[in-house]
Amino acid sequence: MNKELTKKLSAGHATCQGCGIPAIVRAVLGATDEPVIVANATGCLEVTTTIYPYTAWKVPYVHSVFGNAAATAAGIDAAQNALVRSGKIKKKAKVVVFGGDGGTYDIGLQALSGALERGHDFLYVCYDNEGYMNTGGQRSGATPYGANTETAPAGETSFGKAQQRKDLMEIVNAHGIKYLAQSNVAFIHDLKKKAKKALETEGPSFLLVLQPCTQLWKFPTSQYVAVGKLATETNFWPLYEIEDRKYTINNIVKTPKPIEEFLKTQGRFKHLFSDKNKEVISKIQSEVDKNWEKLQKKCI
Amino acid sequence: MEKGGIIKHDLSKSPKTGDWAYAKPEVDKDKCIGCETCAMYCPDGCIEMIKHKEDAKNKADIDYEFCKGCGVCEQVCPVKAISMRK
């Protein structure tokens, strides 16, 4: 076992074979040498790392309920402020929250919004696997248009999810926080760099990290890095950061690949390649192009 | 469980996820360039770079006690030094 990488999250946890979530956690927590306290929303990470009576966490870890991971972090931050004031501790530990897209886009959104608005000093990391993967792949606000999910199944009359995904980056940016970034587990150096910047930011910061799910995006266990790379290379998931409202794109793809390259790697989009669903693919492509243009305009 | 409901990490009691594997990665130590790409992407943190020969670079070494056999290391290796064997 790698002693350096497993300093904060050990092996022996029960994430699926080929899941990228632990790599995200290690990259983020490895970006600081200071003590950290982790708060976690209910989700894949929580259920797999804390199977009673074991824990894979070597750092203080709090899980309360699904929707309030950000509120928990706010509480930890406020408690530390009180302890510093009364002289019981000298320096505050960093507070890091991990939440899935269900616990961030949907259920935890108001707790996140509240904590951001109050300006607590914490980093919120959302690992986005685009659905409620822990409970069998129901649709969430992050599921892309056209994906086949348990609660938006593709069939004779339906082509899967009929709505576009939520633009969480813009929602978080509207709170006017100092640093937020969109990253991808397949570009782990980019993720590390952003985690370091985010942890050094005073006040709230936010990272949105794509996490390809081998089980319910339906691809072989060895492919999470390859699928993640394609998401960025097709401009489906551009990497960018926003510092003091200033946008920077971190990887400009010179000739973006067609979206089919990304879609065809996954079983959840398999139905789109039949004749009757052809226009769904062209709609996804035009949406990707539109979002990319919008993002480029924001960078000026 | 301790007083106060604190569960402490104890690796010796942890489930050994190595028995999930249906294939095991093998490292070709001659091909491995010690770039650590596999170690960073390994979901279980079970790849370590260790010295196996004097005046040679550190090479990937896999902990089969925890390796789940997903095959990510084989896929990300830039020099194809890792292969999955049944």
| Average pLDDT of span B6-30 | 88
* Distance separating alpha carbons of residues B14 and B66, to the nearest angstrom: 10
pTM of the model: 0.95
**What residue of B is the nearest CA neighbor of A28?**
B40
In a domain, A245, yes or no: yes
The answer as to whether B30 is a domain residue is yes
Are B42 and B64 in contact, with CB atoms under 8 Å apart?
Answer: no
Task: Verify whether the Cβ–Cβ distance B68 to A222 is below 8 Å.
Answer: no
Best of A17, A40, A209 to disrupt the B interface by mutation (most B CBs within 10 Å)? A17
CA of B81 vs chain A CAs: smallest distance (Å)? 15
DSSP string, B16-82: -GGGG-SSEEEE-TTT-----HHHHH-TT--EEEE--STTS--EEEE-TTT-----HHHHH-TT--E
pLDDT exceeds cutoff 70 at B2? no
3-state secondary structure of A80: helix
Query: Which pLDDT score, from 0 to 100, does residue B12 have?
Result: 84
Containing domain of residue B40, as a range? Answer: 14-85
Q: How many CB pairs under 8 A join A and B?
A: 106
Instruction: Supply the range of the domain harboring residue A265.
Output: 21-298
Supply the DSSP string of B24-39, one letter for each residue.
EEEE-TTT-----HHH
Q: Does B6 touch chain A if contact means CB atoms closer than 8 Å?
A: no
Identify the CA nearest to B25 among candidates A61, A135, A221.
Answer: A221
Tell me whether residue A234 is in a domain: yes
**B69 vs A: CB within 8 A:** yes
pLDDT tens column, A89-102: 999 999 999 999 99
Facing residues of A240 across strands? A182, A249
- The pLDDT value recorded for residue A41 is 95
Nearest-CB residue to B41 (from A12, A15, A188): A188
Print pLDDT tens along chain A (300 aa): 888 899 999 999 999 999 999 999 999 999 999 999 999 999 999 999 998 888 999 999 999 889 999 999 999 999 999 999 999 999 999 999 999 999 999 999 999 999 999 999 999 999 999 999 999 999 999 999 999 999 999 999 999 999 999 999 999 999 999 999 999 999 999 999 999 999 999 999 999 999 999 999 999 999 999 999 999 999 999 999 999 999 999 988 889 999 999 999 999 999 999 999 999 999 999 999 999 999 999 987
Is A208 inside any structural domain? yes
CB < 8 Å to B69, chain A: 17
A57 shares contact with chain B (CB less than 8 Å): yes
CA distances from B25 to A12, A131, B70, B80 (A): 18, 30, 9, 11
pLDDT confidence of residue B10: 84
> Which CATH number do you get for residue A188?
3.40.50.970
Which class for A127: exposed (0-12), middle (13-18), buried (19 or more C-beta within 10 A)? buried
CA distance to partner chain B, nearest, from residue A281 (Å): 28
Q: ipTM of the predicted structure?
A: 0.92
CA distance A3 to chain B (A): 8
Chain B residues lying within 8 Å of A10, measured CB to CB: 9, 11, 14, 45
Tell me whether A63 touches chain B (CB under 8 Å): no
DSSP letter assigned to residue A95: E
What is the per-residue pLDDT across B55-73, written as a single tens digit (0 to 9) for each? Answer: 678 899 999 999 999 999 9
Q: Quote the number of domains for chain A.
A: 1
Chain B: give the shortest CA distance to residue A280, in Å: 31
Longest C-alpha distance within chain B, in Å? Answer: 52
The number of folded domains in chain B is: 1
Query: CA-to-CA distance for A192 and A198, rounded, in angstroms?
Result: 10
In this complex, is the C-beta atom of A171 within 8 Å of any C-beta atom belonging to chain B?
A: no
Phi-psi region of B69 (alpha: psi -120 to 50; beta: other; left: phi over 0): left
Question: Considering CB atoms only, which of A51, A188, A224 is closest to B40?
Answer: A188
Subunit contact B71:A14, Cβ cutoff 8 A: no
Nearest to A54 by CA among A25, A96, A12: A12
Angle at A135 between CA B66 and CA A51, to 5 degrees: 40
| Cα–Cα separations (whole angstroms), residue A243 to A139, A192, A240, A281, A291 | 31, 16, 10, 33, 20
**Within 13 Å of residue A277, how many CA atoms lie on the same side as its CB?**
23
Structural contact between residues A92 and A82, judged by C-beta atoms closer than 8 angstroms:
no
* Three-state DSSP state, A112: helix
Residue with tokens 């306290």: A37
Determine the Cα–Cα distance for residues A103 and A66; give it in Å rounded to an integer.
Answer: 6
Asked whether the beta carbons of residue A55 and residue B9 sit closer than 8 angstroms, the reply is: yes
In the predicted model, is pLDDT for residue B1 greater than 70?
Answer: no
* DSSP 8-state symbol, A9: B
Is the minimum CB–CB distance between A18 and chain B shorter than 8 Å? Answer: yes
Please, are residues A222 and B70 in contact by the beta-carbon 8 Å criterion? Answer: yes
Q: Does A228 touch chain B (CB under 8 A)?
A: no
pLDDT band, very low/low/confident/very high, at B9 (cuts 50, 70, 90): confident
Decide if A12 is inside a domain: no
B8–A55 CB contact, under 8 Å: yes
A134: distance to nearest CA of chain B, Å? 17
Q: Report the residue from A2, A54, A224 with minimal CB separation from B45.
A: A2
SS3 assignment, position A124: strand
Residue B3 placed within a domain: no
Name the closest residue on chain A to residue B1, using Cα atoms.
A53
- Does residue B55 lie in a domain region? yes
Q: How far apart are CA A253 and CA A29, in angstroms?
A: 28
CATH number of the domain to which B54 belongs: 3.30.70.20
Distance spanning both ends of chain B, measured CA to CA: 39
Q: What is the pLDDT of residue A76?
A: 97
